Structure 1
Amino acid sequence: MKSLNDKKLARAKRKIEEIKKFYKHVVAYILINLFLAFVWKFSFKIVGNFTVSNQFDGDGFTHIPIWLIWGIFLALDALKTFGFLNLHGKDWEERKIEEFMKD
């Protein structure tokens, strides 16, 4: 059976990988949205009059900016990565492993 230090080390390595993935996501978000805003002008319809676009206009909410949609997912990713959406508690995984090993 793994020692407590081995478990902590494995958990720390998993957390570091999650954080690295999050920062890559942030960099991709910034670079791609800068590219879309200044270089490539696009828009496409999703449902009815709602259009996803990287351009602003005076139509109110008929055009949803792509950076907003992606930004919502980025915010959710940040909450998950930094532990705000941890619904099971800190040691839930370890408790479940021990529970299943007892059976």
Structure 2
Amino acid sequence: MNQDISDLEYLDRVRKRVKKIKGFYSHLLVYIVINIMIVIINIQDLEPGESYFQFKNFFTLFFWGIGLLVHGLSVFLPDFIFSKNWEERKIKELMEKDRKQWD
């Protein structure tokens, strides 16, 4: 019975991880599609002889790209910021604090 619980917990963790990876790829796909559309619109709005390489044309690409990078790091390098099992340790810590308050 104990083995079944740990298997179920492991399966649940794997499913959550797959869901995070899928979320990142969805974010990446939307980022690419929307930014291609923005590039096309910006190119059509250029005056004759005007250069495309202006900050206003890269504003969304740059700042959304930073957000996408952070999202990717959180999905593929979760231990980069937080050590292994940080979330579980934090939950246990907070549960202990709550227990001590109620005792």
* Structure 1 length-normalised TM: 0.65
- For 2:18 and 2:89, how far apart are their aligned partners in 1? 21
- Is residue 44 of structure 2 the alignment partner of residue 56 of structure 1? no
| 1:28-77 deviation per Cα after TM superposition (whole angstroms, max 9, x unaligned) | 00000001111x23xxxxxxxxxxxxx834x6xx5361111111111111
Return the structure number with greater relative CO, CA threshold 8 A, min gap 6: 2
Extract unaligned runs of 5+ from structure 1.
42-54
> Which aligned pairs between 1:1-103 and structure 2 lie closer than 5 A?
3-38=5-40, 40-41=41-42, 56-57=52-53, 63=56, 65=58, 66-84=60-78, 86-99=80-93, 103=99
Extract unaligned runs of 5+ from structure 2.
43-50
| One-letter code aligned to 1:56 | Y
Q: CA RMSD in A?
A: 2.8
* Structure 2 length-normalised TM: 0.65
Shift in Å, 1:100 = 5.4
Whose Rg is larger? 2
On the 8 A contact 2:24/2:72 being kept in 1, the answer is yes
Q: Following TM superposition, where does structure 1 have runs of at least 4 consecutive aligned residues deviating by more than 6 angstroms?
A: none
Higher helix share: 2
